[in-house]
Each structure stands twice: as C-alpha cells, then as structure tokens.
Amino acid sequence: MSEWWRGSVTYQIYPRSYQDSNGDGIGDLQGITGRLPYIAALGVDAIWLSPVFPSPMADMGYDVSDYTDIDPVFGTLADFDALIARAHELGLKVIIDQVLSHTSSAHPFFQESRKSRDNPKADWYVWSDPKHDGSPPNNWLAIFGGGAWQWESWRQQYYFHNFLVEQPDLNFHNPAVQDWLLSTMRFWLERGVDGFRLDTVNFYFHDALLRDDPADYRRKAKRDWNPYHMQYHIFSKNQPENLAFLERMRALLDEFDGRTLVGEMGESHHPIEMMGQYTSGRRLHMCYSFEMLGPNFTAGHFRRLITDFFTGAPNGWPSWAFSNHDVIRHVSRWAEHGASPAALARQAGALLLSLQGSICLYQGEELGQVEGELEYHELTDPQGIRFWPEDKGRDGCRTPMTWDAALPNAGFSTAKPWLPVKANQSVHHAAGQIRVADSVLEFYRQMLAVRQGSEALKTGNTVFFELSEPVLAFSRGGEVLCIFNLSPATLSVRLEGIGECLVSQGAVQEGQRLKLAGSGFALYRVAGTVVAGA
C-alpha cells in the first residue's frame, strides 16, 4: 500500500474562511475548488478540510447533525465530488475532518435517545442517573466551561458532553455506535477521500464506572482561565478501549489503497507519549498534539519533542504544526522571538519543513499571516464568548483568507464576511507576494521544493547537536544540516564539513564561522562529517 503520507505536507483549509463564491459572506466548496491551483503551486501533497457537514454551527461545524451530507452553506455533494476530482487532477490528496466523539444535539439519533430509556437509540449516548441529592453523577468538567453533565427531564437523567451542551458524547461502549461511525467513514472513502483528520481522537471512550477525575497535581506558572485545566482527565477520556477502536478504524482504511488517518491528541498530560502509543501498530498513521502550538519557542523544546517521540515510539509517526484553527497564529504568538514578523514567518516555515515527521500548514501561514484582534461583539466562538477577556477564543485565527488587499474584504467575499478582515491582516495578502522576491509566500514555495526534493528531509532520522540556546542545529538522514538562530539577536557558530547551501536567511559564512542574524537560519547539503560548535 502507498505510504504517500509519510513525510508529507498537508495544507489545512478552514472552509468558512477560504473563498466565498456566491456572495453570502461565508466560504464554500466551489470557492475552495477555484483556489486549488494556488495550493498546488505551493508544492504541498494534500489538503485538509475542516468540517463541511450539516450542522447548527454551535461550534462552527464541530457539532455534526448529518455525517453523510454537505451543509448547504458550503454547497452540495456534487460540489464536494467536483472538489475531489479537481484536487486529484492537480495531484492533491484530500483529507476531511471526522468529529466522532460527539454529535450535535440536533442529530436525529440524540433526539430519539433523549426521549426515553427504552427506545432503539437509548444507549447510543452517555446517560446516568443523578446522585441522591439530584446532582450530576461525578465531577467531570466541560472544556467550554461548567460541568460536563446536562439534565434531561424526559429521561430524568443526565447526559455527558465534553464540549458544549449542544455536543452530547456518543457511547462508544455500545458496539452499534462503533459500527455506525465506521459506516459513515466508509461512505466518504467510497466517495474518493484520501484520509481523515480525527478530531479529539483520545476522547472517544469514557470510564464505564464514571469515576471522578482527580485534581491536576502540577503547579501552574500562572492563573488558569479555564477550570477544566485544573483536573487530570484520566477517566473522562484517554481510556484504553480507544486503541481497539482505532485498530478497527485502521482495518477499514486498509481495505482501500493509499488512505491515511491523522489524529488530534487533545491532551496536556504526556501527549508525546500518547502520540507514540496511538501511532504504533495498526492504529493511526500519524498523530499531532498541541506541544508545538503553544508559546514555547526554544531549541530545547523542539529538541525534546522530536527526541522523546522517536525514542518512545520508533515505529510511530508524528504530524507537526505551528498553527491551526484552534490557536493564536504563530507569527503573533512568537513575535518576541523574531527579528521582524516576516523574518520570523520565513524562519518558522524553514524550521517546520525541516522536522522529521509529516507537516501541516494552516491557510495564510504561507503569507506570514498574523492574529486578528477582534472586539467582543465580533466573536462567534463559544470559547471566547465564555472566557473573555482572559481568553479571546479562536476567532482571531479563523478570519478570512486575504487574497488581494485592493479588493473588498481582501478578495474573500463581495459581501460582509462572517468574521472581519482586520487591517493588520490585509497587508499579508497573496497578490502582494506572488513572484515577489523575499516574500514569505515565495520563500514557502522555495522551502517546500527543497523538502520535496530531499528524501532525507521527508523521512530521514534526526541527530541533534548539543548547542546552547538559542541555537537549534540538527542533521537529517546524514545528508542535510539545519541551523537556526531562535532569537532576534545576531550570533555565530562554527561549522566543519558542510556542502552547498540549500536555503538560508541572514546567514554569512566566513571560513568556518557562520554568522546568523536575528531569526537567521541555513540548510546545507552535508559533505562528509559534520562538526558543529558554539
């Protein structure tokens, strides 16, 4: 079977915000299809579409009410088929989001389940009697605030929801639920999708005994804005039964040639270890966590993540990303570490595309896009609405794609967009960077070409050099040397035995000394033994 996914680069599309083709202010499938040549020209291998299924949009599509259709706001199944055909014509694979841990409360199965304790779908969701005092069965918390149990008067029971009240969790202990979910995945596989991104892949099973989650014993560096983070979630998720279900899922994909599974590890305790566990054996092909999606931008941090993963799971495979639809864009998040926003954007691209594993780029990342600073009245994200102002939610990274600053709404839509395009974002537009030397976009194209042309960068093993902060240096497959100055200050290192420079920024070689400006980096084709020292 084809392993095209190993070392691949996937471009994540947030459909609501990519391209509006019908003037309603919301991106759609036809708009995405029209932009596929732009994506193919970047040099990526695949696209990942965030959910496009029918949904009340309480959580912007992550509350699915029909798993085998397209929401009218995005188009039709015919539009989806046309997108698949065009992507394949351009040599792009297509991965779609699967939100399996829960459905929308509007899903017909939940509407049936909530009505009584003896209907055909009564045991398809997680129900429990109250304690004698009427309180919920345990102390589990919801990610979007409050308790994770909601009272249902028809059944005189509580139902479990890890996220919003409108997102009831499915009962994976019921084999019929597993069978049904696999059948919905088969529907899309037969329609031609090349794989699935699995939302919150470690959330599927809950502890059947409903035991309380213990307190998180770790000392917090600062006050936490969400009480969910004050518990150690060893019973509400992360159950061992998850692994057997992933094996069933993998067996389904193995019926088709060249299909792939990439899981989102929503976990703050031992996520790298769990990534390895979930990708070892016949389970997921790839998995990612939020470890590279946070504020930490040090050589030691990146070195530890790569080392820990491949030491703990030599037969597993990671997927790495710096930005996505859930976190502050990395050019804003790491701004203090960069010589300039553009220099930081190019360096981040070079670093990410040099890492061992598969890579995911988020739309606009190739333009050096920054976070949108929204006002409270502009928010749509329930997380931001609930926890403002300590957490402003995820809308700032979900704002529309900026195609051309000379056009209304930066070319995204002729109508008022569902989220505003801010002035600090419009300046990072595609039309202003195409075929412009030193632009972030052209650099991404160059760096992607370097990676695609090097098997060492795609799949080669990593050997790190023990240098002091802020220098990160490593070789890939014994063939490429990668050196990064993760600070805004100029510094120098000593090199021996290097070959031609493949790509660089702010790097000046003087004999055996390499001077790196702030956010500087260089990738060399190795010729012989490499010795690096500070």
Active site members: 199, 255
Total residue count of the chain as it appears in this document: 534
CA distance 124 to 110: 8
CA angle at 144 for the pair 142 and 148, rounded to the nearest 5°: 20
Find tokens 């899903």 and name the residue.
Answer: 107
- Token pair, residue 495, equals 């090199």
Residue 257 C-alpha from the chain's centroid = 24
The dihedral built from the CA positions of residue 276, 277, 280 and 286, taken in this order, carries a sign that is negative
In angstroms, the CA 213 to CA 232 distance is: 6
Give the span between the Cα atoms of 75 and 66, in whole angstroms: 14
Which residues neighbour 26 within 8 Å (Cβ) at sequence distance 6 or greater? 16, 20, 73, 74, 413, 417, 418
CA nearest to 168, candidates 138, 133, 142, 207: 142
Q: Provide, for the chain, the percentages of residues in helix, strand and coil under a 3-state DSSP scheme, each rounded to the nearest 5.
A: 30, 20, 50
CA dist., res. 286 & res. 82, Å (int): 27
Rounded CA gap, 183 and 290, in Å? 29
CA dihedral 403, 289, 144, 123 (to 10 degrees): 120
> What's the rounded Cα separation, in Å, for the pair 286 and 320?
10
What is the rounded distance in angstroms from the CA atom of residue 181 to the CA atom of residue 161?
Answer: 18
Cβ distance 53 to 60 under 8 Å? no
Query: 368 burial class (0-12, 13-18, 19+ CB within 10 angstroms)?
Result: buried
Element (H, E) at 385: helix 382-387
What is the token pair recorded at 162?
Answer: 């890890």
Pairing verdict, β 195-198 and 260-264: parallel
- CB under 8 Å, gap of 24 or more: what pairs does 505-511 form? 505/343, 505/346, 505/347, 505/350, 505/443, 506/339, 506/343, 507/483
Nearest to 317 by CA among 358, 282, 352: 358
